[in-house]
Structure 1
Amino acid sequence: MKTTLLTRRVFTSAAALAAACVAAPALRAQPKLEKTKLAIAVGGKAAFYYLPLTISEQLGYFKAEGLDVEISDFAGGAKALQALVGGSADVVSGAYEHTINMQSKNQHIQSIVLMGRAPQIAMGISTKAMPNYKSLADLKGKKIGVSAPGSSTNMVANLVLSRAGIKAADVSYVGVGTAAGALAALRSGQIDAMSNTDPVMTMLEQKGDVKIVSDTRTLKGTLEVFGGPMPAACFYVQADFVKANPNTCQALANAIVHGLKWLQTAGPSDIIKTVPESYLLGDRALYLASFNKVREAIALDGVMPEEGTRTALKALASFEPSIKADKIELGKTYTNEFARRAKERFKA
């Protein structure tokens, strides 16, 4: 009788332990985060360029990974980069090419998860300021609006102009942001042309305010401008941060890839319900038209394509004399370690 009771007790305890193990796989699977409170800098959060960041934030995917994020929105990517270099931000949601640019200045930053597989930047000429525009050569001496000087919108403009023999010093770049201020700057005649993201460019295009002369909002357009795949928005951090905070980097990648997975099946109405009302710039129909235009430019799984990093280096070196292609170690500008794990977890 005693033996039977003891056996039953042992069996019950073992069963309870097994049930506890089954019930708490997540507790064992989630390693302790080195840093839970993070400051994220972004330049123009309302742009579709950064939609995966907004989706992951609005749907609580950062919280689900144990992260408490504070997102600061700057006028452009160059300002967000300054926040990282200055120490007021831990992470930047910004253009991949900054990792190459900074390495040329002996400062090492690294992409940990990709959000965009095309720059989503279009360049347009103001139909009001330049009604007789014939070719890019006409832009010499003109004012060109960009999100912020030194940002990816500026980089695309430099690349497009350089192919027409126009140097950066031959034009004046004006920072106009990526939202209502950009629309106002072009419509009021403060600038003659603009290189910017959606939804701004689609809104100007559909109202007849600009004539598009270069377009990287689609994969086909990106191939025409850059000659290959061109990675765009990513999360980048200081290289030392990756070494010191691998679990935190994994949590960040998880949150973004979770958002990318959601975006693959989200319908236009889902997007409208999820993003803040102010992002729509007062025109839902145009916002949705813009989304449909850039949808394919959003990354699918967070993994950085090696070929894309080579395209970015070639593009930057073509107009930026300080970047010597043979001196840049592309392998140090990104890691796919975290994105690959997140891709497997979310089946992205």
Structure 2
Amino acid sequence: MRLARRRLLLTSAALGAVGATSLAAPAVAKPEKAKVVLAVGGKSGLYYLSLTIAERLNYFKDEGLDVEINDFQGGAKSLQALMGGSADVVAGAYEHTIRMQQRGQPIVGFALIGRGMQLAIALLKDRAAKVKSPADIKGMKFGVSAPGSQTHMLVNYWAAKGGLKPSDIVAIGVGAGASVIAAVEKGEIDGISQTDPSITMLDQKGLIKVMVDTRTMKGNQELFGGSMPAACLYAQPDLLKKTPGTTQALANAIVRANQWLHKAAPEEVAKTVPENYLLGDPKLYMTAFTSVRETISPDGVMPDDGPANCLKFLAEGDKEIKPDKANLAATWTNEFVKRAGQKT
């Protein structure tokens, strides 16, 4: 166990040097590929708010990019689009870089959106009364954004705390936003693992009881022992190597959006996002945003403890993940966001 821990620490410490020679972009580089197809799963969630802000405030256009955003039901679907060649880049959970490396299919993250997971697991009120520990959720149906997404992995992680296997629970894809509300109101599921503002809205309606909460940095510290990298931009290595100017432009836009969100008033945020994001209640949306704001990365940089915490999280919820085979340094580069920070 000490040897495995030492390996985790060594690979995490190596992140600062990732990409210094092979992936670094020139100091000034125009996008080689102006048209970019970006896949995301559940764009309306606060989990991906920086992406929406970069789009709505024309930060991508300011960088010379024409970004086509394709919104899928969940992160697993957007990952499939990347690996299938129909998307150039993904806004998705960092954990996918580790998972795909274990399958021999490398992808690299390069701009962090969330330094905290920003998810919560909740049970419908009548089901919650029967659950005293994670062991009691055996056989229950959980609404996740899509099977295989981080929302699903969080349920697996919680189930493992009760000695359960992933097959002991049922994950049902319900998307994000309004479709989550509908699934709960119809009683089609026993619980959910989701992003805000859906969790806050259902909680205020008295329909759910939150059991696991990572929407604050305190919650991430308590559950994972530190930061937990969540949404980020990731791509196959060729995008970073062959089109570093395009990669830099994407990173510039996301870092700029992150910084805007740390300074903006909640009212400004609510006015900037599409109206359907508000789920009919602007005040509730602003409350939810205020609660998760601290989990948004201020600079796009991967925290030192993030990759190792994520690997441990995956390994505890999925026995197919082998920590001793992970090369965390190959899953991330801070080179582009550091340069973006110098620009902004």
TM-score > 0.5 by shorter chain = yes
| Aligned: 1:272 with 2:261 | no
User: Within 2, Cα distance between the matches of 1:208 and 1:161?
Assistant: 24
Match of 1:12 in 2: none
In 1: Cα distance, 2:227 partner to 2:132 partner:
29
Report the 3-state secondary structure (helix = DSSP H, G, I; strand = E; otherwise coil) of the residue aligned with 1:94: strand
Aligned equivalents of 1:135, 1:29: Cα separation in 2: 53
Give secondary structure in 2 for the equivalent of 1:93: strand
Aligned partner of 1:270: which letter?
E
CA positional deviation for 1:289: 1.1
Contact 2:128 2:209 in 1 (8 A): no
**Cα offset, 1:133, TM superposition:** 3.4
Aligned to 1:161: 159
SS of 1:253's equivalent? helix
The letter for the 1-side match of 2:167 is A
Structure 1 residue runs of 4 or more that deviate by more than 2 Å after TM superposition: 28-32, 128-138
Are 2:104 and 1:99 equivalent residues in the alignment?
no
Q: Distance in 1 between matches of 2:259 and 2:287?
A: 21
Aligned residues: 319
> Quick one: distance in 1 between partners of 2:128 and 2:190?
7
CA RMSD of aligned residues (A): 1.3
Give the deviation of 1:187 after TM superposition.
Answer: 1.5
User: Quick one: distance in 2 between partners of 1:130 and 1:301?
Assistant: 38
- Counterpart of 1:218, as a letter, is T
Residue 18 of structure 1 is matched in structure 2 by none
Matches within 5 A, 1:149-228: 149-228=147-226
Aligned to 2:51: 53
Residues 222-241 of structure 1 aligned to structure 2 (within 5 Å): 222-241=220-239
1:128·1:189 contact (CA, 8 Å) conserved in 2? no
From 286, 289, 294, give the equivalent of 2:287.
289
1:299-341, Cα deviation, whole Å (9 max, x unpaired): 1000111311110011111222221111111011010000000
**Letter aligned with residue 211 of structure 2:** V
From 240, 243, 251, the equivalent of 1:242 is: 240
AA at the equivalent of 1:241: L
Q: 2:129, 2:262 → 1: CA distance? A: 40
Amino acid in structure 2 at the alignment position of 1:342: A
Could you say which residue in structure 1 is the equivalent of 2:9? none
1:144 aligns with 2:142: yes
Q: Cα deviations across residues 54-112 of structure 1 (Å, max 9, x unaligned)?
A: 00110000000000000000000000000000000001000000000000000000001
The one-letter amino acid paired with 1:186 is V
Contact 2:134–2:161 (8 Å) recurs in 1: no
Question: What stretches of structure 1 of length at least 5 have no aligned partner?
Answer: 1-27
Distance 1:35 1:284 in 2: 37
Structure with the larger RCO, 1 or 2 (CA within 8 Å, 6+ apart):
2
**Percent pairwise identity:** 54
**Aligned equivalent of 2:81, options 80, 83, 86:** 83
Moved more, 305-314 or 46-55: 305-314
**Larger deviation, residues 281-290 vs 86-95:** 281-290
Asked whether the 8 Å contact 2:98–2:328 carries over to 1, the reply is yes
Unpaired stretches in structure 2, ≥5 consecutive residues: 1-25
CA drift at 1:297: 0.7
TM-score by length of 2: 0.90
The one-letter code of the counterpart of 1:66 is G
One-letter code aligned to 1:235? L
Change (3 A) 1:136 1:332: same
Displacement after TM superposition at 1:30 (Å): 4.4
Amino acid across the alignment from 1:150? G
Distance in 2 separating the partners of 1:269 and 1:345: 27
**Residue by residue, what CA displacement relative to the aligned partner does 1:218-249 show, whole Å, maximum 9, x if unpaired?**
00101111122111100000012111111110
Between 1:132-141 and 1:103-112, the stretch displaced more is 132-141
What corresponds to 2:123 in structure 1? 125
C-alpha distance in structure 2 between counterparts of 1:192 and 1:164, whole Å? 17
Give the partner amino acid of 1:56.
A
User: CA offset at residue 131 of structure 1?
Assistant: 4.2
**Of 302, 316, 325, which aligns to 1:304?**
302
Look up the match of 1:14: none
**Cα separation, 2, equivalents of 1:109 and 1:306:** 19
SS in 2 for 1:306: coil
State the secondary structure of the residue aligned to 2:38.
strand
Aligned counterparts of 1:317 and 1:159: Cα–Cα separation in 2: 9
Aligned amino acid, residue 213 of structure 1: M
Distance in 1 between the 2:341 and 2:291 partners? 25
Whether contact under 8 Å (1:104, 1:328) holds in the other structure is: yes
Amino acid corresponding to residue 90 of structure 2 in structure 1: V
Is the Cα contact below 8 Å between 1:114 and 1:234 reproduced in 2? yes
How far the C-alpha of 1:199 sits from its partner, in A, is 0.3
Q: Please give the secondary structure, in 2, of the residue aligned with 1:282.
A: coil
The alignment partner of 1:250 has SS state of: helix
